[in-house]
Amino acid sequence: MNDVLSMYDVIRTNAVAYMPLFVHTVEPLSRGSFKQLCTVNRSSEGSNKAAEESDTLFAWETFLLNVEGTTLQADMTGL
């Protein structure tokens, strides 16, 4: 997780800000609230590092969309 965008170091440095990712809160984590926690400094477009960063960001966004969808489905079924 630290190989691309140094995400592990970022999360450790800002543990309180990232707590909603790992600890249940009253307000569920949304894609929008996650984006507010992050400032992404991208590598030069076309570089191998930029391609890795794009893959990582896509995976995070997909994960968050899945979480939002699961939460929405649970709310609709009354779970």
Q: Is residue 68 part of a domain?
A: yes
- What is the reported pTM? 0.49
Q: Is residue 43 part of a domain?
A: yes
Q: What is the rounded CA–CA span in Å between residue 79 and residue 63?
A: 21
Q: Is residue 2 part of a domain?
A: no
pLDDT digits (tens, 9 = 90+) for 46-73: 888 998 989 988 888 888 788 777 655 5
Q: Is residue 53 part of a domain?
A: yes
Q: What is the rounded CA–CA span in Å between residue 38 and residue 46?
A: 22
| Whether the predicted pLDDT of 45 surpasses 50 | yes
Q: Is residue 1 part of a domain?
A: no
Number of domains forming the structure of the chain: 1
Cα Rg of the chain (Å, integer) = 14
Q: Which domain, by its residues, includes 71?
A: 7-77
